[in-house]
Amino acid sequence: MAGPTPPRNWRSALKRRLQQSVISGDDVLDALRLRFNTRFGRNLPRHIAAYRGYADDDSVALTGRVLANPPVGGRMLFNGAGEEADWWDNLLDTWRRFGSDEVSNVDVEVNFRGERMVVATDHEGYYRVSMAVAAATDDVLWSEAQVSLADGTLATRQPVLQVLPDARIGIVSDIDDTVLHSGIVHWKTAAQLTFLGNARTRKPLPGVALFYQALQAGADGRGRHPLFYVSSSPWNLYDLLDDFMALNAIPHGPIFLRDLGTDAGKFIKSPGHGHKLEQARALIHRFPSLRWVLLGDSGQADAELYAEAAGEFGERIAAIYIRDVDPDADSPFDIAADAHIERIAGTGVPMLRAADSLAMARHAAGLGLVGEASLAAIEAEVQRDLERPTPGKAAAQAALEGKPRNTDG
C-alpha cells in the first residue's frame, strides 16, 4: 500500500525545518559559549568598536559593537604591519577578525549634542542608537559622540558625519571593485586579497581617491557633500576597510556592512546584495532635500539595484556610475549592466558604465556635480594608479600555491 502523498509545499516545509534547525543550533552554541565565557571570565567587555555614524540637525544614528577582545585593524596603521607583512600573519589577523567574541546584554551609554541614551547590546554584541538631538552648534562635516559602558568605563569617541543644511548632493558607493580591487568575480583572486592581505596590500581602483574627493567637494569646492559606503562584506572587516580609506586618502563616510549571524526565519540577518539597496533607500528617504549619486560595479548586482532606485526615486537620483570590472573586454557583465541602463532610459536618470574614475568624473563635471578644475588631477592619478604595483602580491600568490613562508626576515 502506497504511503501518504507528501504535501505539495513539502520543499518549503523542509526548508523551514532546516532553517529552524540551523538557527536553533546557532542559538544553542551562542548560549553554551556565553556560559563558558562567563564561567571563566572571558566575556568581559574590553573594547567598543564604534563605527562611523551620521546626524543632521534633528537626529543621530549610531551603530557599534562591544567585544571581549579588541580588533587587529589599528595595528596596521600605527604599529608597522605593511606591504611586506608575511601572508601567514595576514591570515592570522583575518582569522582573529572573524573569531571576535561579542558581549551581549551589556548597557552602553551614548552622549551626543547634550543628549544621552542608554541601550543594551543584542545577542551579537551590537548596539544601535537613533535619537533626537538639538541642532548642531558648529558648521563642520565631522563631529564626535562619546560612547562608554553604562558605568563610564571603556570611554570611546565615535565619529559622526554631519549632513549639513546646505548640502545638496549625497553619495552612496559600493566598496568591492568600486573603490578597492577585490577581484570579486574571480573567487581565487578575491580569496587571496581578502584572507592573505591587509589594509596596505589592498589596491584602490584607478583615480578613485581624487574622484571621490571631487564629489565630496562639489562643483563649488566647499567639500560638504556626505559620502556613505555600502558593501556585502561582513562587519568583521570594518577595521580593515576604514584603515584602507585612511591610507589611500579616500574620503571617510559611514560604512554599512552585513551581519552574518542567524536570526529567526533567516540564515543571514542581512540579505546579500539587496542590503545595499535597502541602505540606499533608507538614506534617500531619510534626507529628502538631497539628490543622490550612486556608484557601483558591473561584477555584482549594483546596476540592477541602482536601476531599481532610479525607477523608484526618479529625478532625486542625480547620476548612477557603474565601474566596468573588465574594461578591456566585452563580457556578460557589460551586457547585463547595459540592459539596466537601457531599462531606465525613460526615467531621465543619467546612468553610465565607465572604465575608470576619469570617465565618471568627466560625465559628472558635465552634470555640474564636480568642478572642471578637478579633472586634470584625476587624470594624473588614474595614470599613477594604473602604474602602481599590487603590494604583497608575490607573498599572497606563494601562499595560494603552497610555497613555504619566507622566514629570512
Question: For residue 196, what are the contacts with CB-CB under 8 A and spacing of at least 6?
Answer: 87, 90, 91, 94, 392, 395, 396, 399, 400
| Residue 269 predicted with pLDDT over 60 | no
pLDDT tens, 45-92? Answer: 999 999 999 999 999 999 999 999 876 544 443 334 444 444 434 444
Rounded to 10°, the helix 302-313/274-286 angle is 30
DSSP H or E segment with residue 19: helix 10-39
Question: For residue 297, what are the contacts with CB-CB under 8 A and spacing of at least 6?
Answer: 174, 176, 177, 178, 322, 323, 324, 325
Per DSSP (E only), the strands in 113-194 are: 115-120, 126-132, 142-149, 156-162, 169-174
Confirm if 372 and 343 have CB atoms less than 8 A apart: no
| Residue 274 predicted with pLDDT over 60 | yes
Q: For 365-371, what is the mean pLDDT?
A: 97
pLDDT tens, 381-406? Answer: 999 988 876 544 444 444 344 443 33
- Tell me the domains of the chain and their CATH numbers: 166-387 (3.40.50.1000)
In this structure, of 88-97, 296-305, 318-327, 400-409, the range with the lowest mean pLDDT score is: 400-409
Give me the percent of the chain exceeding a pLDDT of 70: 68
Per-residue pLDDT band for 171 (boundaries 50, 70, 90) equals very high
- Round to the nearest angstrom and report the end-to-end CA distance of the chain: 74
| Residue 332 predicted with pLDDT over 60 | yes
pLDDT tens, 178-201? Answer: 898 764 444 334 344 443 343 455
Residue 335 half-sphere exposure, CB side, CA atoms within 13 Å?
A: 3
Task: Considering only residues 34 and 215, tell me which one the structure prediction assigns the higher pLDDT.
Answer: 215
pLDDT tens, 130-158? Answer: 999 999 999 999 999 999 999 999 999 99
> DSSP letters of 200-247?
TT--BPTTHHHHHHHHHHTTTT-----EEEEEEEEGGGHHHHHHHHHH
Which set of grid coordinates corresponds to residue 39?
564561567
Q: Which residues pair with 146 in a beta bridge?
A: 111, 157
pLDDT at 188: 39
pLDDT at 260: 64
pLDDT at 189: 40
pLDDT at 385: 87
- On average, the pLDDT of the chain sits at 79
Question: For residue 7, what are the contacts with CB-CB under 8 A and spacing of at least 6?
Answer: 13
